[in-house]
Structure 1
């Protein structure tokens, strides 16, 4: 870490020092070879996921008209979650050197297997990475079913207000609808006026996949079992995918709309890592290393764990708070955060740089 320490005999100005913080870290990480592609890892993982996807459908065909199909619905949801993680990695250009190869891999995985739009997701997710937890900029904390600020709460009346007062306790039930929400948002984005030619191709892939999926279900199964299969698959998928994203930023400081932060503090202070070992790494698709992912979005997933101690040490050296909690503790924080907003209508967290910037 010695190469990351600024020259004390020639101290830079504050603004330059904050800029250099990330530049120095990035340089050290690159020199250690931690940004190199891990194609073997990804080819193996894609192969295993495709095999699992095929195995689920073989199982569906063999089981026939049986309520045991609900087990296959749950299995399909778990496999699709892993496919979505791979699409996420490819969209971040972690797999190939070629941007086009990454983009089309993301499209085919998301559209052809999951039935979601990679273009819609990339647009939304890029804005989130650019301004995590910043009011008016991060779409992940924009007003929606869940309210994230007292201002959001104040605008709600009737059933919405009732729901908001209980949103922390309803967090997991609401996640069962996340899968359906992702599909609806994807289709609306792809079928909008002004869609690009690539998005129209993606729309054909997504609509074709969804149509084929529904056709197979309702041909193989009676309407009741097909509906139960579809409902359970969407619910489990929503919980698994939404549950992997929620602990990463919810309950971390909210940044005022006009505040400007240097890149390292913007990414580290608003993100949270989740401990838990191999099982958590698998269940969360590597997103439990959220701080490292935000600092190095194109870093291959298996390398995030290796760079974690370097980032922790660097943050400690420069007195930048690095937040990491256990798996269950992370969800407790999320539920408490949502209840703090919904039940007591107050700001549960404040950006630690607000006071500093006022001085």
Structure 2
């Protein structure tokens, strides 16, 4: 059974996808990854112990050590790009060049978001406080509510692609299975009917609605980890960023700049995050999965290369990131070789593809789940 063709994961399909009905295949692992000594003679362990064994292999390879020098370089590069983009905006007086700068700064904002993501997972420092300080700094630069994002993202990591538990599949304007589509009402029902066609439009709104309005709503309803600092940071961002843009540009040019910048920022973030899990197996309440299998079979990797690694902020190694969320970004590629061999050795489906194919799979998945609404007169 091909994993990419399985988008619903019920109890009867678990054994096939997770290798519970297969014997270990040492040769298949060796043909895909370098022959790590620990993988040549895999231990015979119970399923519940396999993740601990895998983490030990990764730890022995030194891949869980923090990488302060790497992150120092990333921060210098990203902040330099931000400063260059803002300086260019201040120097030019041509709307077309200003819009080119909006495109550039949208990419810079995405790179800052990746650093905020890493801080949220404590990938940068061992100290929680230091990671929090970095995260709050990124929250100021982006205009986000840090506590909201960390809470939402941690729940996603605990229950990836599980309806009713994963907040990333609890989206009113999307349906992730046919039953979910049939439950939609009103305008949401119409949107879901054509969700594959409207998906790009939804991604373009991610920067404004998905990241900011949702965070503000959370801030007004729930307790923040930093109840004084976080609202002030949000206000300071809008005062500083909007004030700077409207100070440097005429009102109409400033508005156009912001529309282009925020739209492309949302598209960039959506293009990176959507392939991680969208179109991969959904877990129902009857499926019994251990941590290792839950994280691997619901995630999709994007084929790595230096350009992809940079543009995706390391999130193209989604399987490895979900297995080791505290692993520094620059070690995920090395972990991939160990994880892929380990999974293939145990018959656990490990899926990796290219960005275009991932996009087609996502749109096909959304189109298929909206089909029951298109087949009805309502």
Please indicate, yes or no, whether the TM-score normalized by the shorter chain is above 0.5. Answer: yes
> Deviation string for 1:32-63 (max 9, x for gaps)?
11111111110001011111111111111101
Match of residue 104 from structure 1: 133
The alpha carbon displacement at 1:148 in A equals 1.3
Q: 1:95 is matched with which residue: 93, 100, 124?
A: 124
Task: State how many pairs are aligned.
Answer: 337
> Deviation string for 1:41-97 (max 9, x for gaps)?
100010111111111111111013634211111111110000000010111111111
Q: Alpha carbons of 1:194 and 1:252: their partners in 2 closer, same or farther (altered >3 Å)?
A: closer
> Is residue 240 of structure 1 aligned with residue 268 of structure 2?
yes
| 8 Å contact kept, 2:172–2:188 | no
Q: 1:84 is matched with which residue: 113, 119, 124?
A: 113
Q: Alpha carbons of 1:303 and 1:168: their partners in 2 closer, same or farther (altered >3 Å)?
A: same
Distance 2:373 2:206 in 1: 24
Q: 1:302 is matched with which residue: 303, 307, 330?
A: 330
Match of residue 74 from structure 2: 45
TM-score where L is the length of structure 2: 0.85
| 8 Å contact kept, 1:65–1:220 | no
**Residue correspondence of structure 1 range 127-146 to structure 2 within 5 A:** 127-146=155-174
Match of residue 342 from structure 1: 370
> Deviation string for 1:281-324 (max 9, x for gaps)?
11111101000000010111010011111111100111101011
Distance 1:340 1:193 in 2: 35
Note the residue ranges of structure 2 that are not aligned, 5 or more in a row.
1-35
Match of residue 244 from structure 2: 216
> Deviation string for 1:158-197 (max 9, x for gaps)?
543332121112211221101011111122222x155346
**Residue correspondence of structure 1 range 184-263 to structure 2 within 5 A:** 184-190=213-219, 192-196=220-224, 198-263=226-291
Match of residue 321 from structure 1: 349
> Is residue 32 of structure 1 aligned with residue 70 of structure 2?
no
Match of residue 47 from structure 2: 18
The alpha carbon displacement at 1:335 in A equals 0.6
Greater displacement, 65-74 / 302-311: 65-74
Match of residue 66 from structure 1: 95
Match of residue 321 from structure 2: 293
The alpha carbon displacement at 1:271 in A equals 0.6
> Deviation string for 1:110-160 (max 9, x for gaps)?
x22111122111000000000100111100001321121222211234543
> Deviation string for 1:316-357 (max 9, x for gaps)?
1111010111111011100100001012469xxxxxxxxxxx
Backbone CA RMSD of aligned residues: 1.8
Select the structure with the greater relative contact order (CA < 8 A; seq sep ≥ 6).
2
The alpha carbon displacement at 1:7 in A equals 4.9
Distance 1:7 1:205 in 2: 50
| 8 Å contact kept, 1:276–1:327 | no
The alpha carbon displacement at 1:206 in A equals 1.4
Distance 1:24 1:171 in 2: 40
Distance 2:222 2:280 in 1: 36
